[in-house]
């Protein structure tokens, strides 16, 4: 009886975590480049009351044993890196990735973080930065006054950045955008602000040119939307809510039966 109380409690804790994960996905449904998370579960240790294969007679063994589970626990949370839809913005600094790879962002301490968020801007020095002021790596700097008086910025699918300077007909190449990809992107560590860091699980970053050797293509004036499917998340939330209710019912039922057993009187 006590076992069933703890088993039901573990189920409630697991489903609460499931709902937390779904809520996080729904909260980021409009976050650029966001990748949904999936909660994975596994059963807990079993208590073997009778081991299968135990000799029953000189000529036979027990075909099936008796084992009792102790509930569930969270095994992992995994980011799902399927492609999000591309949304046109008409902003020349916006970039969307189609395919595998990440933009490289240099943080204030000089370390490199990775993101699918292509909402870039330029600062007072003409440098490409993200919304928090972190620089795109390698540095990409526009010539002074390049976009004034009819200047035009063109970023190719292969990451070449060209600027048409006012008064000149020939575009000026100002830089090359580099991307990184990983053997196991699900192993990256999320640090907030749409950024992720390399870990032992993700493997080392493989750098390359967009559109080459399996790297994503870049689409200028587009953004990659979140890959969260609201309908799927709502269904998962309903399933988690019902499972939570069933587990709470098992706790209540176990408590009722335990109360009956405790109040038994001799006739």
Please say if the pLDDT value at position 267 is more than 60: no
- Of 32-36, 121-125, 154-158, where does mean pLDDT reach its minimum? 121-125
Q: What is the pTM of this model?
A: 0.88
Which H, E and C letters describe the chain, residue by residue?
CHHHHHHHHHHHHHHHHHHHHHHHHHHCCCCCCCCCEEEEEEECCEEEEECCCCECCCCCECCCCEEEECCEEEEEEEECCCCCCEEECCCCCEEEEECCCEEEEECCCCCEEEECCCECEECCCCEEECCCCCEECCCCECCCCCCCCCCEEEECCCCEEEEECCCCCCCEEEEECCEEECCCHHHCEEEECCEEECCCCCCCCEEECCCCCCCCEEEECEEECCCCCHHHHHHHHHHHHHHHHHHHHHHHHHHHHHHHHHCCCCC
**Region 54-78 average pLDDT:** 87
Q: What is the pLDDT of residues 103-114, one digit of tens each?
A: 999 999 999 999
**pLDDT for the residue 1:** 60
pLDDT tens-digit series, residues 15-51:
999 999 999 999 999 999 999 999 999 999 888 888 8
Report, as an integer, the average pLDDT of 240-258: 93
């Amino acid at each position: 009886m006590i076992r069933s109380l703890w088993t039901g409690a573990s189920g409630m804790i697991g489903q609460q975590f499931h709902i937390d994960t779904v809520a996080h996905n729904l909260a980021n449904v409009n976050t650029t480049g966001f990748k949904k998370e999936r909660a994975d579960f596994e059963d807990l240790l079993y208590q073997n009351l009778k081991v299968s294969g135990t000799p029953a007679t000189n000529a036979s063994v027990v075909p099936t044993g008796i084992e009792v589970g102790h509930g569930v626990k969270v095994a992992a949370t995994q980011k799902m890196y399927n492609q999000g839809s591309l949304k046109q913005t008409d902003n020349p600094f916006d970039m969307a990735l189609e395919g595998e790879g990440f933009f490289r962002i240099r943080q204030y301490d000089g370390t490199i973080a990775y993101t699918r968020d292509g909402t870039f801007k330029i600062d007072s020095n003409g440098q490409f930065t993200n919304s928090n002021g972190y620089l795109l790596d390698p540095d990409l700097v526009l010539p002074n006054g390049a976009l004034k008086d009819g200047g035009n910025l063109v970023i190719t699918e292969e990451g070449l950045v060209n600027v048409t300077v006012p008064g000149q007909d020939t575009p000026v190449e100002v830089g090359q955008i580099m991307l990184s990809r990983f053997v196991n992107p699900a192993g990256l560590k999320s640090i907030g602000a749409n950024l992720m860091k390399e870990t032992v699980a993700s493997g080392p970053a493989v750098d390359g040119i967009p559109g080459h050797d399996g790297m994503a293509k870049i689409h200028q004036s587009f953004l990659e939307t979140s890959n969260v499917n609201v309908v799927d998340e709502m269904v998962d939330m309903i399933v988690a809510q019902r499972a939570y209710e069933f587990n709470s019912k098992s706790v209540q039922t176990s408590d009722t039966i335990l109360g009956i057993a405790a109040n038994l009187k001799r006739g």
